Amino acid sequence: MLRWRTTTSHSYIKDAQMLIYKVVEIGTVTEEAIEETLNSWSSKGWHFDGLQFAMRESSKRPAMAFALFTQESEEKA
């Protein structure tokens, strides 16, 4: 995430923090498994970013899912 601040001389200072990404595989795709994963990682300070499903050709149900999370790093970029 980039944050820009204006100084009195109208120049810009870049105060950037790196984002850390976390990908969590959900092997059994059920409502309960997805809820448990989202609640578990959110309570640890991770921010939910998205959910991707891996599909099988022979089935309408997803074979697995990947939950994506982000968190700001303590280090400056």
Local structure of 18: helix, strand or coil: strand
54 residue type, one letter = A
33-48 tens-digit pLDDT: 999 999 999 999 999 9
Q: How confident is the model at residue 14 (pLDDT cuts 50, 70, 90)?
A: low
Question: How sure is the predictor about 20, in pLDDT bands with cuts at 50, 70 and 90?
Answer: very high
Structural domains present in the chain: 17-76 (3.30.70)
Give the global pTM: 0.73
